[in-house]
Structure 1
Amino acid sequence: MKLIWTTLFCFTLILWTVPTHAQSTQEKISKAKSPYIAASSWPDRIIVTPTEDPSTSFSITWRTDQTIEVAQAQIVKASPDARFDIQATSLTATTDGVSLSHGESQQGKFSYPVNVDLAGVNYHWVTLTDLQPDTLYNYRVRGGQGNWASWRQIKTAPQQRDRDVEFLYFGDAQSGIYSHWPMILRRAWQHAPKAEFAIYAGDLVNEGASDRQWSNWLNADPFILSMIPAVLVVGNHEYDWKMQANNQKDWALSTLWQDQFTLPLSPTLPVELQETVYVTRYPDLDVFVLNSGALGDVALLEAQAQWLDKKLQSSSAKWRIVTMHHPVFSSCGMPLNTVGQDEPDVRAAFLPVFLKHNVDLVLQGHDHTYSRGSIGTPEDIGKIASPMEPKKVKSVFLTTVASPKTYPQKPNRWQEYSHYGAVLERIGENTPTYQIIKKTDNQLKYQSFTTDGKLYDGFILEKNMKGQNTLRIDADLPLQRTFANTGPYRSHHDLAE
């Protein structure tokens, strides 16, 4: 493993059931099975992840069985030559042996019962550096001798500050990872084939220790994941139970996270946060990733807040985006007939930093519902933005879901957050979406689409010479979708993992 660590975290898993005969019957249906692809001497689960400077470097991670102790990568600048491969440079990867049935952290040695019948694997990773900006490269990776994966292409980020940048953003996949999630991922890529990167805002899987579920996520579309850098966010479902030898259970981040992903390090942060808190920088656009899953340790949240404050202070980018899993302002109305969920520790740690530095967008997941809200500047505090009424804002907050697991909105919406100046301006229930965000010189254009490719929400943030943002909502948006006008909730528990 690149690092061995864990974070204590407690949470309550809430299942929503609708008290009808049809729902009761639905709950009794066994979860659908999905295929499991065992490791071999051929490379699989190839994924590209960004470094802090994606204009000159990127990382690749892939898997083989444990017979492969030495793996390689090759890279060459793309060209029209038929045998471009002859000019490729070879690099030897770092190899980590991984037991799927056992993990090790600062808390000790653990078993993962869900993987008890799975053989160990090797993960291989390499960070390719000293690349040329805004340049298309061909690369491939190898398992056993001669067992090369097919060539893939990836383009490094440009460095010119005035260059446009387009990227994708997804909320939780988590449920229906085999049956539903690949369709959404592919639809988004078809809609934005020139996306520079994609943000996955946590809860990629339902059980972070389940290698079968990771198999489904990493095989949702192997070419997209190996050609568009994945900005990965830890969610609470990337944590899982670890069983100690004395049968004591500990709730901690699954060791599979660092085994299968290579993400930027943040040396000033505690070891528990490495490869879950980082920054990646595109032209005049900095993306900061936080680990809100450290809910069980306020000190870890505060360490991130201090790190973010310093990073934002030194950032020279015109546009700054933060992504994390748990929303600052929760919209989830679960459990039913209650006031719904809330994350006061996350809000207390991070919101003051967001507002101090006027973070432009906060991209979140977790609530399994769609919400868009904002905090206005003093002259527009409490104002609701509309197509006819632009609004001067400090920050805009988005929560989305990419899963068939969808929850209701809070009955009181964001009324309990009004003293922060936060206003909920658009919602969506029973509606998985994908998002395309495009940065130009003085604008961020945000669009949210339903899985049939239709626009559901959209706005433009326009920044003036003083760095102040005006929020302009798109006209002719469709009616807000709720369970009242889309049909009742239907359980997700029968879907294939």
Structure 2
Amino acid sequence: MKRTGLTVSAIFVCAIMALVWWSYSGADEKDVGIWQRMVAGYHKYMPVSDSKPLHIRQLVTPDMSTRRIILWETKAQQANSVVKYKLKGHSDDTMQTVYAVSEMFEDGKERRYIYRVDLRDLQPNEEYVYQVGREGHTDDEWHSLSTKQNANFSALIFPDSQSNDYTKWSNLVKTAYGQNPNVQFFVNLGDLVDNGESAKQWNEWFHAVEPMISEVPFAGVIGSHEFYTTDLKFRAPLAYSHFFPFVQANSTLRREPFYSFDYGEVHFVVVDTEFEAMPEGVREQMKASELAWLREDLQNTKAPWKVVLMHRDVFQYGRAKNPNSASGFSEIGRIFMPIFEIYNVDLVLAGHYHMYRRHGHIVNYERSKTGPYYIVSGVAGDIFYNERWQTHPLDEYAPPSDDKPNYLLLSKEGNALIVKAFWFDGTQFDEVRLTK
């Protein structure tokens, strides 16, 4: 009898997993409660450790004043997964519940169950608190969610965080967030991990940004290493796209490789620079599609400030050990810079080179007193490219060395957009102020 009981349980669990996968592929949030209720009894078979919500996170959305995407994970399938939220300081009687869409994702020999809730009808200019988990048994911890759109605000900008050991990245995040606990969102400019297929590295990345990522919306930029298999070959960025399903305004897709969002008077545009990793047969078509979207997005925004976030830089640096290589402009620069100039982009922040360089205003591939202002942001992990690159004749500023992690603080204050650069210990080493 015991053997029969175990067999029935195994069949029940497999049936649930199949139903979950079918539901994610075709259902949307309003339908998901049906199948969630069908498997309501599943939780009693699950160890407590496997049902605990992990990696709770907020993602930026096109309209930050009314919408937010919440995600989390468990090690085993969780029935009746929900977000419960209310206005801060209000009674539990005002609590609202939204069922999650669920998917099973397996990569790097680790299986995850990921839950997503798209909160679309939040009230502007309010402070919320929320919990995640299964209905009736949500996590005890409350997390903050703000829909305020302040004229003056700040955001943390992190360069590439890919690492051999993510201790330095973790310490950098703790220092940056500890000194700037009231930032409205944070950004990671690509190459979040060294190997996109490594579940271990992704877990370490998430641990480093907790609890910040549950309290502060995240804006991710995809980098080249998000495309890497364990043997360093290109593949689709599966982990990144499952972990961070960013959306575009008016799009029916659940995951977008490029997107934009507004905060206050600033329009932020996240572009995908990883054309080399795209399949050759569709590369030009995908590039054309992104550039058409970019032109339309920049043309239609009414925000007075425009900031671009990208992984690969517009400059090309010659290699120090190759005297025949030359510094100039990268292919990415040739593709994007004319568009930035036409649509009056104010600031462009990039990563990739693992060094901090302030390029200044560049127009028509020459030094200018106006036009887009370019900065390559530095390095946030422990992989340094010391002495790898030649100098570039158009760089306005370079620090004495590139052997320390750093981060940026982007602030909007009155009629100014300010970028401050800090070392891992919180010491400021550079500052730029743009006014209009």
With the shorter chain as reference, the TM-score category is 0.7 to 0.9
Answer whether contact 1:334 1:408 (CA < 8 A) is retained.
no
Q: CA RMSD in A?
A: 2.9
- Give 3-state SS (helix, strand or coil) of 2:396's partner: strand
How far is 1:280 from its partner?
A: 0.7
How far is 1:260 from its partner?
A: 1.8
The aligned amino acid for 1:326 is: R
**Number of the residue aligned with 1:259:** 242
How far is 1:143 from its partner?
A: 4.3
**Number of the residue aligned with 1:439:** 412
TM-score by length of 1: 0.71
Say yes or no: does 1:319 pair with 2:305: yes
Of 121, 126, 133, the match for 2:124: 133
- Give 3-state SS (helix, strand or coil) of 2:331's partner: helix
Call closer, same or farther: CA 1:334–1:74 in 2, change over 3 Å. Answer: farther
**Number of the residue aligned with 2:169:** 181
Say yes or no: does 1:60 pair with 2:70: yes
User: 1:14-93 to 2 correspondence within 5 Å?
Assistant: 40-79=50-89, 84-93=91-100
Say yes or no: does 1:283 pair with 2:290: no
Answer whether contact 1:203 1:237 (CA < 8 A) is retained.
yes
Say yes or no: does 1:427 pair with 2:402: no
- Give 3-state SS (helix, strand or coil) of 2:339's partner: helix
**Number of the residue aligned with 2:31:** none
User: 1:183-332 to 2 correspondence within 5 Å?
Assistant: 183-241=171-229, 251-265=234-248, 274-296=255-277, 297-331=283-317
Answer whether contact 1:96 1:123 (CA < 8 A) is retained.
yes
* Whole-Å separation in 1 of the counterparts to 2:287 and 2:318: 22
Answer whether contact 1:331 1:341 (CA < 8 A) is retained.
yes
Call closer, same or farther: CA 1:349–1:377 in 2, change over 3 Å. Answer: closer
Say yes or no: does 1:166 pair with 2:162: no
* Whole-Å separation in 1 of the counterparts to 2:166 and 2:135: 28
Answer whether contact 1:332 1:368 (CA < 8 A) is retained.
no
Call closer, same or farther: CA 1:138–1:411 in 2, change over 3 Å. Answer: closer
* Whole-Å separation in 2 of the counterparts to 1:293 and 1:393: 25
- Give 3-state SS (helix, strand or coil) of 2:137's partner: coil
Call closer, same or farther: CA 1:397–1:86 in 2, change over 3 Å. Answer: same
Percent of aligned pairs sharing the same letter:
25
Spell out, residue by residue over 1:172-230, the C-alpha distance to the aligned partner (whole angstroms, 9 max, x if none): 01005531111111111122211111111001111101111110011113210111100
How far is 1:325 from its partner?
A: 0.6
* Whole-Å separation in 2 of the counterparts to 1:98 and 1:299: 28
How far is 1:407 from its partner?
A: 1.1
Call closer, same or farther: CA 1:68–1:444 in 2, change over 3 Å. Answer: same
* Whole-Å separation in 2 of the counterparts to 1:349 and 1:315: 21
Say yes or no: does 1:453 pair with 2:426: yes
- Give 3-state SS (helix, strand or coil) of 1:253's partner: coil
Of 387, 393, 403, the match for 2:381: 403
* Whole-Å separation in 1 of the counterparts to 2:295 and 2:388: 31
How far is 1:351 from its partner?
A: 1.1
Answer whether contact 2:346 2:373 (CA < 8 A) is retained.
yes
| Greater per-residue helix proportion | 2
* Whole-Å separation in 1 of the counterparts to 2:135 and 2:264: 38
Of 380, 384, 391, the match for 1:413: 391
How far is 1:122 from its partner?
A: 1.0
* Whole-Å separation in 2 of the counterparts to 1:263 and 1:140: 21
Answer whether contact 1:42 1:143 (CA < 8 A) is retained.
no
* Whole-Å separation in 2 of the counterparts to 1:453 and 1:136: 29
**Number of the residue aligned with 2:348:** 362
Say yes or no: does 1:97 pair with 2:104: yes
* Whole-Å separation in 2 of the counterparts to 1:46 and 1:343: 39
Call closer, same or farther: CA 1:339–1:191 in 2, change over 3 Å. Answer: farther
Call closer, same or farther: CA 1:235–1:192 in 2, change over 3 Å. Answer: same
How far is 1:332 from its partner?
A: 7.2
- Give 3-state SS (helix, strand or coil) of 2:139's partner: coil
Flag the structure with more relative contact order, 1 or 2, with Cα contacts below 8 A and sequence separation at least 6: 1
Spell out, residue by residue over 1:101-127, the C-alpha distance to the aligned partner (whole angstroms, 9 max, x if none): xxxxxxxxxxxxxx23x3x22100001
